[in-house]
Amino acid sequence: MLVLAIESSCDETAAAVIENGRKIHSSVVASQIELHAQYGGIVPEVASREHLRAIIPVIKQALEQASCSIDDLEAIAATRGPGLAGALLVGYNTGKAIALSKSLPFLGVNHLEGHVRANWLMEEPAPLFPALALVVSGGHTDLVFMKSENEYERLGGTLDDAAGEAFDKVGRLLGLPFPGGPAIAKEALSGKASSLKLPRAWLPGTADFSFSGLKTAALHSVRKETWSPTEIAWEFQESVVDVLSGKVANIANDLSAREVLIAGGVASNQRLREELRSRVSVPVRIPPPSLCTDNAAMIGAAAGPRLSRGERTPLNVDIFSTNDWSVV
């Protein structure tokens, strides 16, 4: 089944043509990073306006790259949530309009499931189950247990800041450019262990995370002026990576997971990739960075099997903006 997938949940306008949830015919992303960098973070109203400007050109480019037309499509999929409401509405309503005008099946996709399903877009056999999935991004940090391909059980997640959000905020404290994740990772490359020891919130006995205390500790470290930005960046990254990789390793072992799936923008972090593969005792699957950050290919990957099973989203069903794994 050939699907046009659309993603606009935050600050990337994206479209892709995906076949059977596995094969990428095209994937186009229009990023707004440079626009929002001047504000030090995402401005929702600005993001919505940029989506309106970019959505049609991005869809046209995706169709051109796939060497197909709208008449060749068999279904339309678009991110339904979670995300910024104004941003979501642009892509979601555009997808519904195309589906209505061409009498095509339409499916609204959970953005978080999309991140997980990016692991199906690699040239490897399908993941083994049961599997443990970590979705770690600027807006989310969730641990999800998958007994089968279509079962998602949220075990826990952040109680405050998402890991990517903490990276962005600490990056700003250090005077680094937005987004903070890549900037801190780059700064930390020239760093090493120092006398600075930032906290690790292990929250034993749970699958939850907490990064607000770490963020506050980083703030106090900056104010003390004892350590350089490079030393703080290095220790901050080590703290986040230590907790994420350690908890994933322990919980994967406790649940006898056969594979671990990593997803979301923070999964692009090289130190996190290294530590997960070092500490987890089962195979760890991580998409390439282009499929970790927001994109429409992952939405097509999530939509493919659902559409094949006959699932459809009525055109009168609206978006949702909060983290909800029951909407998959």
Concatenated DSSP letters for 119-135?
GGSSSSPPPPSSEEEEE
pLDDT, tens digit, for every residue of 94-121? 999 999 999 999 999 999 999 999 999 9
Asked if 44 and 26 count as a contact pair (C-beta separation under 8 A), the reply is no
Residues constituting the chain: 328
Cis peptide, bond prior to residue 289, ω within 30 of zero: no
pLDDT score for 324 = 84
- How far apart are the C-alpha atoms of 18 and 10, rounded to whole Å? 21
| pLDDT of res. 327 | 81
What mean pLDDT do residues 136-143 have? 96
Residue 153 DSSP code: E
Asked if residues 48 and 37 have their Cβ atoms less than 8 Å apart, the reply is no
The Cα 298–Cα 21 span in angstroms is 8
> Could you read off the pLDDT of 65-86 as tens digits, one per residue?
999 999 999 999 999 999 999 9
Please provide residue 197's backbone torsions phi and psi, each rounded to the nearest 5 degrees.
Answer: -130, 105
Query: What does the block give as tokens for 47?
Result: 């993001």
Q: What is the pLDDT of residues 140-180, one digit of tens each?
A: 999 999 999 989 999 999 999 999 999 999 999 999 999 99
Looking at residue 294, what is its pLDDT? 97
Separation in Å, CA 133 to CA 61, 63, 239, 245, 263: 32, 31, 20, 12, 7
What's the sign of the alpha-carbon dihedral 38, 55, 300, 255? positive
Beta bridge partners of 14: 7, 29
Sign of CA pseudo-dihedral 319, 164, 151, 1: positive
Q: How confident is the model at residue 210 (pLDDT cuts 50, 70, 90)?
A: very high
For residues 211 and 159, what is the distance between their CA atoms, to the nearest angstrom?
Answer: 8
pLDDT at 222: 97
Distance CA 249, CA 207 (A): 11
Helix (H, G, I), strand (E, B) or coil at 155: strand
CB 267 within 8 A of CB 287: yes
The pLDDT of residue 328 is above 80: no
Q: Does the pLDDT value for residue 3 go beyond 90? A: yes
- Cα 303 from Cα 62, distance rounded (Å): 17
Place of tokens 């949220």: 154
Domains in the chain, start-ordered, CATH in brackets?
2-116+292-308 (3.30.420.40), 126-286 (3.30.420.40)
Where does residue 137 rank: exposed (0-12), middle (13-18), buried (19+ CB within 10 A)?
A: buried
**Per residue in 258-304, pLDDT tens?**
999 999 999 999 999 999 999 999 999 999 999 999 999 999 999 99
Average pLDDT (205-226) is: 97
